[in-house]
Amino acid sequence: DQQVKQNSPSLSVQEGRISILNCDYTNSMFDYFLWYKKYPAEGPTFLISISSIKDKNEDGRFTVFLNKSAKHLSLHIVPSQPGDSAVYFCAASDNYNTDKLIFGTGTRLQVFP
Amino acid sequence: DTEVTQTPKHLVMGMTNKKSLKCEQHMGHRAMYWYKQKAKKPPELMFVYSYEKLSINESVPSRFSPECPNSSLLNLHLHALQPEDSALYLCASSHLTLSGRSYEQYFGPGTRLTVT
């Protein structure tokens, strides 16, 4: 049972435009959500997170939106840069299994000039 | 400093070998993790140490043996592995709140393991 889903395996965006990566979850107990970026042959890099008590968190070019009623979160990157090309994973945790991050399957973002 | 280091970067071992993967962090984090990642898949949790004690073992085969010698170090001892164990092995660490909750996990660069 895939509790965290990223339905788009890939996304291609022109440099300077907005990239929107989506993530859906099924477990209503999740209360903390994270986005990670991964380059090939490297470990995931933490990007940004959001608690379920918020609906938006912003850090520079990255903004995460959370819609609890829809069990949906999204990562907006604006403006997109070629260096943003990577695989993006969303992840979630709950207050009972706090050490376990449940990862989505990832979305490969390609930013072209 | 949010750095987690892992050695070696690459490892090739035969099915009868014994080897160890090492992980180190100096962020004062009291939770440390081992993950396995196959190509085009998300990281898969193997073990969790909280305050140097094993708190989670995700039903990992006994040919993988974790060890946490102190709060900064985490080892993964490997013995009699199978070719299907070839993967990227990732270490991560996180801060624990007073209630024992962890939030962001910081990952190392990984060890690319090939079992022949």
Per-block average pLDDT, block size 10, for chain B (116 residues)?
88 94 95 94 94 94 96 96 96 88 91 96
pLDDT (0 to 100) of residue B1: 55
Cβ proximity of B88 and A39 under 8 Å? no
Chain A residues with beta carbon closer than 8 angstroms to that of B104: 34, 46, 49
**Of chain A residues 18-37, which have a CB less than 8 A from chain B?**
32, 34, 36
Q: In Å, how far from its chain's centre is CA B80?
A: 18
- Are A33 and A64 in contact by the 8 Å Cβ rule? The answer is yes
Give per-residue pLDDT as tens, A16-52.
999 999 999 999 999 999 999 999 878 999 999 999 9
Cβ-defined contact of B105 to A95 (cutoff 8 Å): no
Closest chain B CA to residue A44: B107
A92: its two tokens: 């979630």
- DSSP state at residue B77: E
Over residues A58-98, the pLDDT tens digits come to 999 999 999 999 999 999 999 999 999 999 999 999 877 77
Sign of CA dihedral B91, B95, B96, B102: negative
- When pLDDT is averaged across residues A7-18 and rounded to a whole number, the result is 97
Q: Does the beta-carbon distance from B112 to A45 stay under 8 Å?
A: no
Q: Is the pLDDT of residue A53 over 90?
A: yes
Chain A residues touching B43 at Cβ < 8 A: 44, 89, 103
Strand ordering across the sheet containing B4-7: B4-7, B18-25, B73-79, B64-70
Are residues A99 and B55, on separate chains, in Cβ contact within 8 Å?
yes
Q: In terms of residues, how long is chain B?
A: 116
Provide the number of CB pairs (under 8 Å) joining chain A to chain B: 56
Assess A101–B contact: CB distance below 8 Å, yes or no: yes
CB contact under 8 A, B105 and A101: yes
Inspect the interface and report whether the beta carbons of B108 and A43 lie closer than 8 Å: yes
On whether the CB atoms of residues A29 and A96 are closer than 8 A, the answer is: yes
Q: Give the residue, A2 or A19, on which the prediction is more confident.
A: A19
Buried b or exposed e, range A41-61, using 16+ CB within 10 angstroms: eebbebbbbbebeeeeeeeee
Nearest residue on chain A to B10, alpha-carbon basis: A41
Distance from CA of A31 to the nearest CA of B (A): 10
